[in-house]
Amino acid sequence: MNVERREKLYEGKAKIVYETNRPDLIIQYFKDDATAFNALKKGTILGKGVINNRMSAALFEVLERAGVPTHYLGTLSDREMLCRRLEIIKIEAVARNIVAGSLAKRTGLEEGTIIKQPIVELYYKSDPLGDPMLNDDHVRMLRLATPAELIRIRRMTLRINAILRPHLARRGLLLVDFKLEFGRRGRKLYLGDEISPDTCRLWDSRSKERLDKDRFRRDMGGVEEAYQEVYRRLVPAGA
């Protein structure tokens, strides 16, 4: 496929999205820039863009093989991913298997508490508002998704969790929680965005060592090493 990069469509905190010569395709470019706490904390994680691109590609391929439609079409370079162009739904769907982060704060449960039945939370993808949590009625009121789409988003999020959790466990990683974004194309929903240590909490199964963006958020050090370790476990050499 002969796809050429064209105008920048959108620049986010960690990625740039480009148009291509094909109206139905975009290119995601993964940067090393990192932000946390609604961009109050800014920094760089060297090599992160390459790792997030390659790791997302590997996980999108796992999901596609399991029958989950994703926007992923192929890897163009170390930092560039070719994707279907979607109409992005402005909801962040978070799945949780173990209590951490904002759930620990909101509930008073200790970080590390196992959640017997995985849960899904919805957040409004809005930088000016700081991504507030939403319930189904808010989603309907804001017309972010139809009730039927919301049911599918929840179902797909749980299904993706059920696929990724054992896949990561086999590689010595606990999938604590993660954030997904979806987009529509016609009547079909696709998983969009990325799946990486920026968007997942991943703990070493044995030591419970944090191998994700929490090392950056919480100034724990060893950030680059953690991303590399996840990459080493997930992306087969030479992929």
Binding site for ligand UDP (CB under 6 A): 94, 100-103, 131, 177-179, 199-201, 213
**Least CB distance to ligand UDP at residue 140 (A):** 22
Specify the residue, 153 or 200, whose C-beta has the smaller distance to ligand UDP: 200
Specify the residue, 80 or 121, whose C-beta has the smaller distance to ligand UDP: 121
Q: Does residue 113 contact residue 98 with C-beta atoms inside 8 Å?
A: yes
Q: What is the b/e burial string over 18-40, where b = at least 16 CB atoms within 10 angstroms of the residue's CB?
A: bbbeeeebbbbbbbbbbbbeeee
Specify the residue, 20 or 226, whose C-beta has the smaller distance to ligand UDP: 226
Specify the residue, 201 or 215, whose C-beta has the smaller distance to ligand UDP: 201
